[in-house]
Amino acid sequence: REDLEKSVDKNEMSFSGIDLAGLIRKKYGRSYDVQLIKKEFLGKQYLAMNVMWKYREQRSFPLSEEEYLLHLDDVANALKCWGAVSVIRSSLEKTKERPRIGKAVSLFIDMDESGGRANEWINR
């Protein structure tokens, strides 16, 4: 376990829902919801973090601030387990896409060649 922790960037180990919320807010100026999904693209399985079009500042947003941050904590923990925090940080910085009604921004996480590890985490 110690070797694993040493191999992972310290920023990844301390990554939390608040950090994820900050990245999203910095990029888009709003507190968008995120969902983890499994997608097949060109015959290969991927996990993706979708930045959804609903955001916390909307009256119709279904979560309180506390529920939203707890949800983002769950997502951040999954990203840490997958070693995908740096991929998500980089993808958020680089993408020019913005969420809009009916269109999420997908940030792909390549788990492995077969998609087997993806199947361990998300069954849909």
Does residue 32 carry a pLDDT above 50?
A: yes
Query: pLDDT digit string (tens) for 5-29?
Result: 444 555 677 899 999 999 999 999 9
CATH code of the region 2-121: 3.30.428.40
State which H helix or E strand residue 45 sits in. Answer: strand 44-55
pTM exceeds 0.85? no
Evaluated on CA atoms 67, 30, 26, 32, the torsion sign reads positive
Q: Provide φ and ψ at 55, rounded to 5°.
A: -135, 155
Hey, where are the domains in the chain?
2-121
Q: Band of the pLDDT at 39, cuts 50, 70, 90?
A: confident
Q: CA 76, CA 95: separation in Å to the nearest integer?
A: 19
The string of pLDDT tens digits covering residues 53-108 is 999 999 999 999 999 999 999 999 999 998 899 999 999 999 999 999 999 999 99
Q: Which of 28, 2, 4 is nearest to 96 (CA)?
A: 28
The CB density around residue 45, as the number of other CB atoms within 10 Å, is 19
